[in-house]
Structure 1
Amino acid sequence: MKYNNFRKAVSSLTSQRSDSSLPVVALLTGLAVGAVIGVLFAPERGADIRTKISDKAKDLSDAAKDKLQAVKNKFHSEGHELADLKDEVVDKVKSKARAAEELKDEVIEDAKSKAKDLADDVKAAANEVKNS
């Protein structure tokens, strides 16, 4: 009787879920059934089993916290590296912009000088034409 109720509950859960959630529901159901059967047929006392489960859960929790801290530390160090890289790129861009500005000024001064020289040459040639 209880088995039929369990089947109906699982069936209603799977019918309400999308097709992609069916394996997850089946996995969770299998885990729950396995845990119940394992506890029922365990050769040790309930208190000992609960202690072992508690210890294992604490170990898993500590391991998860350690992994999370390692991930946080990695993100933190990667963030610093990215910030340093950003600063380096910004400095290079500013340096290139200053160099381009200086080159522009040099080109403008050179063009002005050549234009003045050309104007002087044109005046000299005009004077020669006038005087001849």
Structure 2
Amino acid sequence: MKTSSTILGILGAAAAGAFIGVLFAPDKGSETRKKIKDKSKDYGDNLKGKVDGILSSISSNGKDIIEEGKAKFNQVKEDFNSVKDEAKAIKTNY
């Protein structure tokens, strides 16, 4: 998650830099507001895409971990039952 925080920090800094650059541009107020609106939408769409990618990756990895955990649990369960059966067999023989 540290990488995603870094990416979000970089995107936030870039957005702030662009915002400040637009504010100091020698355009009329209406033009400046339009530029800010357009840039904000671009950065918002970009950020949404990044967040969706991160969430998709987390979801995918979580499903893989759950499936692996289930498989290991089933293997341990089988091993336990096998040992239990062997113990019964030994107990029966003695």
- TM-score, structure 2 normalization: 0.69
**Percent identity between the two aligned chains:** 23
> Which of 72, 76, 79 is matched with 1:93 structurally?
76
Letter of the structure 1 residue corresponding to residue 59 of structure 2: H
Deviation at 1:87, TM superposition (A): 0.6
* CA distance in 2: counterparts of 1:106 and 1:70, whole angstroms: 54
Unmatched runs of 5 consecutive residues or more in structure 2:
1-15
Q: Name the SS of the counterpart of 2:27 in structure 1.
A: coil
Deviation at 1:67, TM superposition (A): 1.3
- TM-score, structure 1 normalization: 0.51
- Whose Rg is larger? 1
Identify the residue that residue 47 of structure 1 maps to in structure 2: 30
By relative contact order (CA 8 Å, sep 6+), the higher-ranking structure is 2
Identify the residue that residue 110 of structure 1 maps to in structure 2: 93
Letter of the structure 2 residue corresponding to residue 45 of structure 1: K
Q: Structure 1 residue runs of 4+, over 6 Å off? A: none
* CA distance in 2: counterparts of 1:44 and 1:65, whole angstroms: 29
Question: What is the CA RMSD across the aligned residues, in angstroms?
Answer: 2.2
